[in-house]
Amino acid sequence: MTPIGVTGPLRSMERVDWADRRGARAALVTAIVLAVAVAVVIVVRTPWSVLPVPPGGRAPVDPTAGLTAAQLHRAQSFADAARPPSLISLGLSLAVAVLFGLTRLGARLVRSVARPLGGGWVWQVLLGVVALVVIGRLVTLPPAAYGEVVAHRYGLSTSSWALWLRDAAVSTGIDSAFTALPLLVLVWLARRVPRTWWAWAAAGAALLVIVGSFLWPVLVEPAFNRFAPLPAGPLRTELLTLAARNGTPVKDVLVADASRRTTALNAYVSGFGSTRRIVVYDTVLASLPDRQIVSIAAHELGHVSADDVLTGTLIGALGTAAGVALLGWLLTAGGLLRRAGADGPADPRVVPLLLFLVAAGTLLVTPVQNLVSRHIEARADIHALDLTRDPDAFVAMQRRLAVSGLAEPDPPAFLHWFFGDHPTTAERVAFAADWSRLARK
């Protein structure tokens, strides 16, 4: 209803406002639908229970995981030394995101960094992102450097300071590029199609997650490590036979030159389809007996068998799309924009607010992601036991992993719930005990 006497321009503004509100509601509904889809995929694809209860109940979880008192003490004192800098680092990066995203400081920064280049919106987005990423990195550099000192002191890091700084610079560059380009597209869309930008951006972001999952191992991993095929020999033959027995196509087992940086032991599987590969750290080859390396590879093959990378990619793609649709709703709410000193998603001054919202969203979904991850990892553990039928090597390997990485076998519950992406060593050793009792049955 238009009151009598309202002039033309006002009426049309009112209409725009209604269209905006309809658009905002569509964005919210889309976000909710996608979030429900993510929840369904998580509920259906997460292996909530990976091992039946053995007769007589589950093995009690021994919080020491069978480590010696000296090993436990060393892991504990490392955690005490390393945890504060890493939590401080997280807190500082959030504080930076809040400071620039929820005040007008960020908008001013975006304006001023682009001024020498003419101040166009493209430069505001690109240089604004680079400036914010670099500031975030510089602020967290002191606690990160202290964490590196601790890692050196405990013999966990072998990286030279030159290599450490080079890594920090390279990852800042990669973060800047991977943040600036998507945000440039987002602001461009908001300028081109002001009502439906979020829908295009959500679809594009989902696509980017899927493509990224293919390209990450090819494009990003080589920026940090060199990979060489595991040389021919009994171990290579055994691992390829294991993969064949597992019924999964693995063309190659690669060795990463991780010892340039760390003494930690690790292996992983990344990519899928033609880019899928199993990667084993050279530290693993240097320090573990073959039986334990086979156990690690069998765990990784468990991920391949269960298509865990595909599940992760699907959840990531849907979740990212839901997040972008939610941005579409949040960025029509005047309150946040006013706070950030931006006119709307088409205004490059929105960049600091976007980075804050992404940081906050990422932190909020971390416990959910890790909950799913822990179950998926537990399934891969059981798969390794099924495939190798060698619980002794599995347990010995878990202990070696914990000792070499100075991981507490039974970390504080809250921290594990929030940050733990694998079951604890204590739990993993208990899996093997349960598995053995079920196998004997």
| Residue ranges that bind Zn ion, judged by CB under 5 A | 377, 380
Minimum separation from the CB atom of position 400 to Zn ion (A): 16
Tokens describing residue 90: 């997280």
φ and ψ at residue 35, rounded to 5 degrees: -65, -40
Minimum separation from the CB atom of position 299 to Zn ion (A): 5
Rounded CA separation 125/414 (Å): 38
Minimum separation from the CB atom of position 303 to Zn ion (A): 6
Specify the residue, 137 or 299, whose C-beta has the smaller distance to Zn ion: 299
Residue 226 CA from chain centroid, whole number:
22
- Strand 227-229's sheet: what is its strand order? 227-229, 253-256, 277-281, 267-270
Specify the residue, 323 or 391, whose C-beta has the smaller distance to Zn ion: 391
DSSP H stretches of helix in 247-333: 282-287, 290-305, 308-330
- Residue 90 identity: L
DSSP one-letter string for 339-391: HHT-SSTTSGGGHHHHHHHHHHHHHHHHHHHHHHHHHHHHHHHHHHHHHH--H
Minimum separation from the CB atom of position 316 to Zn ion (A): 16
Rounded CA separation 225/27 (Å): 41
CB burial string 186-221: b at 16+ within 10 A, e below = bbbbbeeeebebbbbbbebbbebbeeebbeebeeeb
Minimum separation from the CB atom of position 380 to Zn ion (A): 5
Specify the residue, 347 or 377, whose C-beta has the smaller distance to Zn ion: 377
Specify the residue, 107 or 380, whose C-beta has the smaller distance to Zn ion: 380
Active-site residue flag, 427: no
Minimum separation from the CB atom of position 74 to Zn ion (A): 24
Q: Which residues contact 231 (CB under 8 A, 6 or more apart)?
A: none
Specify the residue, 137 or 422, whose C-beta has the smaller distance to Zn ion: 422
* Active-site hit among 300, 377, 408, 427: 300
Rounded CA separation 98/46 (Å): 33
Check: CB of residue 108 under 8 Å from CB of residue 132.
no
The secondary element (H helix, E strand) that includes residue 174 is helix 161-192
Helical packing angle, 105-114 and 69-101, nearest 10°: 80
Which residues are part of the catalytic machinery?
300
